[in-house]
Homo-oligomer: A and B are copies of this chain.
Amino acid sequence: MTVQDNFRLAMRRYIYSVSIMSNKDEKGNLNAITVSSVTSISMEPPSLLICINKSSRIHESIRVGTKFCINLLNKDQRELSNICSDEDRYDQRFNDINWNNDNIPFLENAQSNIFCNVEKLTSFHTHTIVIGLVEDSKFKNTIDTLTYVDGEYK
Contacts and interface: CB of A to CB of B under 8 A. Distances in A.
Interface stretch (A77-85, A88-96, A107-115): A107-115
A27 interface: no
Interface in A16-57: 16-17, 37-49, 51
A97 interface: no
| Copies per assembly | 2
A62 interface: no
Contacts of A41: 37, 51, 124-125, 127, 129
A104 interface: no
Given A129-B41, A131-B124, A149-B145, A46 B4 contact: yes
A140 interface: yes
A63 interface: no
A134 B127 CA distance: 16
Given A3-B136, A8-B43, A129 B15 contact: no
A122 interface: yes
Contacts of A139: 6, 9-10, 12-13
Nearest to A112: B10
A51 to B, nearest CB: 5
A125 B42 contact: yes
Interface of A: 3-4, 6-17, 37-49, 51, 72, 111-114, 120, 122, 124-127, 129, 131, 134-140, 143, 145, 147, 149-150
